[in-house]
A and B are shown apart, each in its own frame.
Chain A
Amino acid sequence: MTNKLRALLTGAAIFVGGSASAAECIAPANPGGGWDFTCRQIGKIMYDIGEVDQPIQVTNMAGGGGGVAFTTVVNERNDDSDLIVAASQATATRLAQDAYGGATADQVRFVGAIGADPGVIVVAADSPYQNLTDLLDAMKADPGSVAFAGGSAAGGFDHLKVLQLAKAYGVEDVRSIRYIGVDGGADAITQTIGGFTQGMTGDMSEIVGFLESGDVRAIAVLADERVPGFDIPTAKEQGVDVVAVNWRGLYVPKGVSDETFNDWAAKLQAVADSEEWQQAMADNGLAPFTVVGDDFQAFIDKNIADVQALSREIGIIQ
């Protein structure tokens, strides 16, 4: 009898309280974006390969370009060991530019990245610019002669790629380069094919379908090496030393124990090694980029310092 009652009570507890041990992944944006993808894909694979024993629940917490989620984690859930949050280069860029209302990167712990989307520069198929140096020469002669479209707002990651290239090539007045931020990479390509802008700056995953259809040409990929399967020269090969990859990964609250941190790092590593993740990366144009645990924290620190220096130089931040 008592057993039955206890079972009933437990049932009721699960009913109203929600299952206690299910971990939660916060996607700091509305469904459909890269962070949402990260949460859902990593959460699904962790469950499929048995790293967690219950499906990871995905919560969308949009606002402030990820800032609302960030400050919520810092202020309200600082010691929640069942919480992971999707992050990407955009998170680091915004932290570097102080776009989260004073929040800083050391208020959370970055667990790791397990894949990266290399930056690309794309022109329409009928563009007169055959390679990156053609394009940069034109910009050197007149920085206002080339307009770019990208999926991020001005000063965001896509815009920074163009500015980095221009600076590395010696374009004098990078501030007079014209850039319009539109709704995502595909929209930016549409504007470029339509001839409204001369170049598109974005991520590899955004352009795969358009390359196949022959509407656009990619003139540079901003990675250390060429992406396997694509005949696109790197910027480095063309004498412009710029690397910009949009990594995808996770952070956890600052207050968790080292044990929890290492535990999540190990789980993330397991996802990175899994067959399923290799497939997901291939399907989405992600390149392997696995940095997990304390190495990743070091990577983030350097990355943020770099972005900060560049943003200050260009005038995005004071």
Chain B
Amino acid sequence: MDILSNLALGFSIALTPWTLMLAIIGCFIGTIVGALPGLGPSNGVALLIPITFSMGLDATAALVLLTSVYYGAMYGGRISSILLNIPGDEPAMMTTLDGYPMAKQGRAGDALVISGVASFVGALFATIMLALVAPILARVAYLFGPAEYFALYLLAFSTLGGIASKNQAKAALASAIGLGIAMIGIDNNNVTRFTGGNLHLNDGIDFLVAIVGLFAVSEVFVFIESHGRGSALGVKLDKVTVPWREIWSTRWTMLRSSILGFIAGVLPGAGASLGSFLTYMMEKSIGGSKAGFGTGVAKGIAAPEAGNNAAAGGALVPMLTLGVPGSGTTAVLLAVLMTLNITPGPTLFANRPEVVWGLIASLLIANFVLLFMNVPLVKIFVKVLTVPPALLLPGVMMVSFVGIYSLTGSYYDMLLMIAFGVMGWIFRKLDIPTVPIILGILLGNAMENSLRQAMTLSAGDASFLFSSGISIGLWVAAVTGFVAPLFLRRIIKKPTLPEMEVPDHAKPID
């Protein structure tokens, strides 16, 4: 078979003791970088670029190292989400919703193992799909114009109402705040908005600043206020075992989430964060209110982790076949490929099979390395919870500051981050969910631009928004997602959930 011989070619390039060692190092560094708040996968890959140069690595070795870091960071992001309620990077945001409540019940080990396996399933699925159908899938990007993207973003926001708050108005308000913040800066048509003449704001507010502020800084404030009571720190831990039964019960969740996440990753405008968000919301609506999403259930961890790792693999499809990076990290990987004299594009698969298949083989290797690394390492990660909060929280804070400082090298973003921290603390007091704010900041500009571009292309004719099958389908899904819960709530008498102590931004909707 063609694919098998290609894969054999790939492994013959990628599977040497030397590259295997690089993969292990890369996975390890990636996991650390992913777990540190403020340092995301794109930082991790960017940090390693000079190292690959100074070590004089050839193209294959460099790719193995960097993709290991990429996948490693995607795995690592979940760790701080689960243990500290602080997402290590933005796609891991959704994992806090069920991961942290689970950790508070003393089941941090279970949460890490389940999420690790889900990450593996998602990433493996995406890698296999990448090998099988990437060149064909690349064509999907040609079907998505501004009108289709606008409908896709609308779908994300229409399902937001049910995300986390008991109060619908608060969830809607949170996403409006996020969208409002996203408008800050110079828009795509050279109009400066809401900057107050400050040059630092011309590019808008980096979502990393917002996420680190809203989650990490506000968490420290909460700790200072409560002296650590009611957190997962110091909770008596169960013995770390592999919860086979629970993992098996999430098999369909993992599979569905892998598929949806992969599709989200393939679309350059969507990416891993949207992937994990949509998979969580999908599983939540399939599970219904009885499934207890938001209280620490296995499916609530498996869905976003399978989704964001599958999306991370999916994002490689447009990057390799079109040269269109679907995310910040793939943009860095793209730059690395260019400096290695590999130009991604529609001809890459045909012209440079050794690069493509070497990459796919190294992704598979990285994935297995990460699975084997993560499950035994869970015991070490869980130990983090026994670190005294008076050491751990200041540490998290300092890491966040350095991460943000390394973005721009100025105090400005750090001040913004503190402001977001204060805002996050107040919002948590008032039970306003923070996840929709991040989503608004992440997608706001893209959403507005796609609407404005669609209207520019159609010269103001609004029917253009519904002119393709894809956009009509997405609109129907969006309207259903918005309206259906309103009706369902009346029809189904909800069972009263047991009163549980859950974090402020992770409360179930009903």
Contact = CB atoms under 8 A, between A and B. Distances in A.
Complex contact flag A–B (Cβ < 8 Å): yes
A207 to B, nearest CB: 9
B324 A60 contact: no
A248 interface: no
18 contacts: A32-B325, A32-B331, A32-B332, A32-B334, A40-B49, A41-B339, A44-B53, A57-B50, A63-B410, A68-B200, A71-B199, A99-B186, A101-B197, A153-B187, A184-B324, A190-B142, A209-B347, A316-B190
Contact residues of B: prevailing secondary structure: helix
Interface stretch (B227-235, B386-394, B417-425, B452-460): B452-460
Interface string A29-69: 01111001100110010000000000101111111110110
Contacts of A23: none
Interface stretch (A164-172, A210-218, A226-234, A265-273): A210-218
Contacts of A212: 345-347, 351
Interface string B160-201: 000000000000000000000000001111100000010110
Given A144-B459, A190-B324, A196 B145 contact: yes
A178 B456 contact: yes
A181 B453 CA distance: 8
A316 B187 CA distance: 14
A68 B334 contact: no
Interface in B323-337: 323-325, 328, 331-332, 334-335
Nearest to A190: B141
A31 B49 contact: yes
B323 A153 contact: no
A166 to B, nearest CB: 17
Contact of A154 (B50, B189, B206, B459): B189
A257 interface: no
Given A72-B409, A153-B190, A67 B332 contact: no
Given A31-B42, A283-B341, 8 more contacts: A32-B335, A37-B335, A40-B50, A61-B408, A68-B410, A208-B345, A209-B347, A283-B343
B345 A60 contact: no
B145 A209 contact: no
A194 B190 contact: no
Interface string A115-159: 000000000000000000000000000001001000001110000
Q: Identify which of B54, B190, B351, B407 gathers the most chain A CB atoms within 10 Å of its CB.
A: B190
Contacts of A191: 145
Contacts of B462: none
B348 interface: yes
Given A64-B200, A180-B456, A196-B146, A31 B409 contact: no
Contacts of B203: 62-65, 68
A176 to B, nearest CB: 10
Given A190-B268, A209-B346, A181 B331 contact: no
B143 interface: yes
Interface string B197-224: 1011011001000000000000000000
B349 to A, nearest CB: 10
A256 interface: no
B177 to A, nearest CB: 22
B200 A154 contact: no
A10 interface: no
A88 interface: no
A210 B188 contact: no
Q: Identify which of A58, A181, A208 gathers the most chain B CB atoms within 10 Å of its CB.
A: A181
Contacts of A279: 341
B259 to A, nearest CB: 23
A164 B45 CA distance: 39
Contact of A101 (B199, B339, B348): B199
Contact of B200 (A36, A63, A179, A182): A63
Given A30-B328, A44-B53, A144-B459, A186 B347 contact: no
A191 B143 CA distance: 9
